Amino acid sequence: MKKINNPLKESWNTLLQRPTQTVDDIEATVTEIFSEVKQKGDSAVAKYTQLFDGISNLDTQVSNSEIEEAIQIVPSSLKESIQVAKENITTFHAAQKTQRVDINTIPGVHCWQEKKPIQKIGLYIPGGSAPLFSTILMLAIPAALAGCNEIILCTPPGKDGKVNPAILYTAKLCGVTTIFKIGGIQAIAAMTFGTETVPKVYKIFGPGNQFVTVAKQLATKHNVAIDMPAGPSELLVFADDSAIPSFVASDLLSQAEHGADSQVILVTTSEVMLQKVEIEIEKQIGSLPRKLIAEKAIKNSKLILVKNKEIALELINEYAPEHFIVISENEDFFIKNIQNAGSVFIGNFTPESAGDYASGTNHTLPTNGYAKQYSGVNLDSFTKSMTFQKITKDGLNNIGNAIENMAEAEGLQAHRNAVTLRLNYNK
């Protein structure tokens, strides 16, 4: 990890850059695949599944027998762990339900707001070397709680043409409607346009690599919403001398092992802590099964020493991390003043892994600085707010003149007439 001591503020923009390719580097590939899937449907999906995953003649829809087989394969201990996570995630997201807003803004004018579920949801679940079945819990549970009618899931197949059993078990447990063995750009394109077998959806959720992130962004040009730009994982830890160095190092490595394009950052006011964490990282990384991946991510990562907590907070808000761990004697200062972070973890005994799996909060979070303007996935992500109003004769009399005057001032005479006719009828 690169060490930086007291960086000047004018260097922050360069210092805090993510190790990602620009959209321009990727968009041409994504656009080409989108165009082909739109025109050729399943045959284009099959072409790119063979190209990227090395699998041909694949029946992309997961059958009931495959799901039942997977349920038998998943160890009971893992099933129990998934159930614990499911209960906590359900509890936290169910608590996010809000009451209908219902009010008379003025006598005779009744306005209310109701939340309606998004009917067709698409979930993208990364597979490969790290099949993220935990992401199904984070997405399918709130989708079901919101009342979404159709929950489609796409995930890349393994080299044997099968989906990881834990993914299938969790999808079944959480109420996913249909599962497809499709990964990457072609999966996002299939859910965007619909194919002979894959339904078109209204909103796509789920993390992925840089290609998936750009594909989701391109989907928004084709009348499909997305949860947020959610690309390679990232973590920033603030740690002062109250932190336990081995804990800090383990948290940094937990995100570094996600992928070579992940980024982890330590910000500290203690040079001693920085040195101890650096030593711990070297000690722990050697025993990781995903050592080579973590090592690549660590090359993109930084240990930053700053003079005080105020500078640290300003730098952290500028970076806007996906995950933010704060271990500090002054934790309240950070809790009260953090403005830009996807999810915050507080204290020595709150590892980021807890949020990834079983504490109850959602782990689908904005990356690449988008925490400045995006929220993480929550119950409201699967709903849309719809407003209603009903006005009586007296109500229209109460606001009619204001409407007429405003419409006339904007030069919209038909708007004025729609009110004037009614007011005259009421006389």
Q: Note the pTM of the prediction, 2 decimals.
A: 0.93
Q: Is the pLDDT confidence value at 21 over 70?
A: no
Q: Which residue has the tokens 């993109």?
A: 300
In total, the chain counts a number of residues equal to: 427
Give binding residues for Zn(2+) as ranges: 255, 258, 356, 415
Identify the three-state secondary structure at position 211: helix
How far apart, in whole angstroms, are the C-alpha atoms of residue 243 and residue 315?
Answer: 19
- Verify whether residue 323 is a known catalytic residue: yes
Residue 225, sorted as left (phi over 0), alpha (psi -120 to 50) or beta, turns out to be beta
Residue-level pLDDT at 230:
74
CA distances from 42 to 46, 83, 197, 313 (A): 6, 35, 7, 49
Give binding residues for substrate as ranges: 233, 255, 258, 323, 356, 410, 415
161: its two tokens: 């043409």
Mean pLDDT of 235-252: 98
Q: Residue 314 contacts by C-beta under 8 Å, 6 or more apart in sequence? A: none
Q: Which amino acid is at 343?
A: S
Identify the three-state secondary structure at position 209: coil
- Verify whether residue 27 is a known catalytic residue: no
CB 151 within 8 A of CB 175: yes
Q: Is the pLDDT confidence value at 22 over 70?
A: no
Catalytic annotation, pick one of 234, 257, 280, 322: 322
pLDDT tens, residue by residue, 291-349: 999 999 999 899 999 999 999 999 999 999 999 999 999 999 999 999 999 999 999 99
Catalytic annotation, pick one of 280, 323, 352, 363: 323
All domains of the chain in start order, with CATH: 23-227 (3.40.50.1980), 232-375 (3.40.50.1980), 392-426 (1.20.5.1300)
How far apart, in whole angstroms, are the C-alpha atoms of residue 321 and residue 90?
Answer: 25
Nearest partner of 327 among 342, 346, 352, 308, judged by Cα: 346
pLDDT tens, residue by residue, 358-410: 999 999 999 989 999 999 999 999 999 999 999 999 999 999 999 999 999 99
Exposure class string for 210-237: b at 16+ Cβ within 10 A, else e: bbbbbbbbbbeeeebebbbbbbbbbbbb
Give binding residues for NAD(+) as ranges: 124, 186, 209
